[in-house]
Structures are given as C-alpha cells and as structure tokens.
Amino acid sequence: MSLVGAGPGDPELLTVKALKLVQQADVLLYDALIDERILEETRPDCVKIYAGKKCSDGQNPQARQDEIHRQMAFYFREGKQVVRLKAGDPMIFGRGMEEVRFLESETIPWEVVPGISAGIAASSAFALPLTERNKSRMVLFTSGYTSAGETPGCDPLVSVIKEGGTVVVYMGLTKLHCLLEVMEKAGIGNIPLMIADRVSQEGEQLISATTNTVLERLEREQVQGPSLVMVGKYLETFEPKELLESLHQQIPNTSLLT
C-alpha cells in the first residue's frame, strides 16, 4: 500500500518513483487537484476512484475519510496493488498520518512517497529563497484554517517574520487581513509579500507585491484559489513570467510522461 505525493499539479513535477507506482497500480484512490494527465498514466485496467474533498462541497469530511480507509483495506485484501495518490506531499496539510495510523491498525504494510509541496513549488516559481545563508535561517509553513474551519491567530507568524524568517501560508488569502493587521501593530511594514495562486496548475498566477501594496493589487487581480501567501524581510525575486519564458526557450521538453 503506497501513499504517494503527486506534487502541486504539474505532471512533470512528479518524482520518478511516484510515476512508476501510478503506472503499476491496480487501484488508484486519487485526490482533488490531481492533473488529468497523471491519471492517464495508469494501466487501462486500473480502477480509478475519486477520493477528493473540497471546501464547502457538502461532504462530511470524516465520513469521506472513513470511506477512503474502507476502500484502501478492501482492495488491499483483494490482493490489489493500491496507490493512494495525494496532492502535494502526503504529510503536509493533508490526512496522510490519519491514513498511516489506519493502515497500522489493520496491519497493512505501507510506504509514504514524498511529493513536492505547493510551498516549495511556489518558491521555485518565483525564483526566491525561503531561506538564505546569512539572512533568513528558518521558514514556517502554516495553514489559513484550523481543522474546525477557523482562522487561527497571527501573532506567532509575526514573531517568525520579526526574526528574519519566511512565512508560507497555505490557503493564505483567508488569513491575509489578519496577518497585515498584526504586522502593522508590530511595526513591520513595506516588506515583500508574494501570492501564488494555483501554483504549477492551469491558470497559475504569481503576484509580487509588498505588505503595503498587496491589497491594492488584489483589487485588480482575479484570484481563484487555492492560494499561498509568502512573506518575509529577505524575500527577493525576479519577474517570474519572464524567467519562465526564458527557460522554456533554452530547455527542450524532456518529459517522462507520454
């Protein structure tokens, strides 16, 4: 039984191991935000089962998770090679550990295959360092929501920023006003703030701003989500679209995907 990270969206950001497991799977239980081109890599006889959850989609999240557990155990005991394909990395802001605990309780052998998390993909898309020698020595990954759907406080995030660290907020637009307000009270202003919307997916948007200009930028931009917010004193970036176009002109398409 394999819990596999599919990365942030772009099929070319799959690891080689993840691609091989997808291609060998008898049963694929896959999340929302998985690119259709990844699903096309399965064998013709592979059973593909959608197991995604989206905010406000009307599903009971725990009941849906219980059903995923039931399906994993059922197909494993049928002798199938089961791949649980999860967006991003299985152990970052997902239910990967819940699934590991379930498999352990059922004495089902398992492995976790890491994937590129959206925060790392966004850093690369902007060509910016989340940490840098002699500048930022730490990075904090956090979520805009608690498990109960609430928006947690922003004071701990500001403490990291004051110390020169970088903060990456998944589903971060819900927390943006809170973060800007607490930073203003702490005397932190006009530092770099980037927003990555649907990073590495179709319709990707990369917005470079500062804490002073971001709200004005968002009034002009149509941001769909899911979005990451990255903020830190030492963030430094190039124009991402120009950089990307330059790279595409220089590097031929060497995709492993058919």
Are the C-beta atoms of residues 103 and 82 closer than 8 Å to each other? no
d(Cα 118, Cα 171) in Å, to the nearest integer?
A: 11
Distance CA 136, CA 208 (A): 19
Task: Give the pairing type, strands 166-170 and 82-86.
Answer: unpaired
Task: Work out whether strand 205-210 and strand 192-197 pair parallel, antiparallel, or are unpaired.
Answer: antiparallel
- Sign of the CA dihedral with 99 first, then 104, 106, and 110 last: positive
Least Cα distance to 235 among 208, 215, 256 occurs for: 208
Minimal CA–CA distance to 200: which of 124, 104, 144? 124
Catalytic residue among 20, 48, 53, 233: 53
What are the two backbone dihedrals, phi and then psi, of residue 34, each rounded to the nearest 5 degrees?
-85, 125
The structure tokens 């947690």 sit at: 152
Q: What is each CA distance from 124 to 112, 127, 194, 226, in whole angstroms?
A: 24, 5, 12, 17
Residue 53 catalytic? yes
Q: Write down the catalytic residue from 31, 35, 89, 197.
A: 31
Q: Look at residue 80 and give its three-state secondary structure.
A: coil
d(CA 44, CA 199): 29
Active site residues: 31, 53
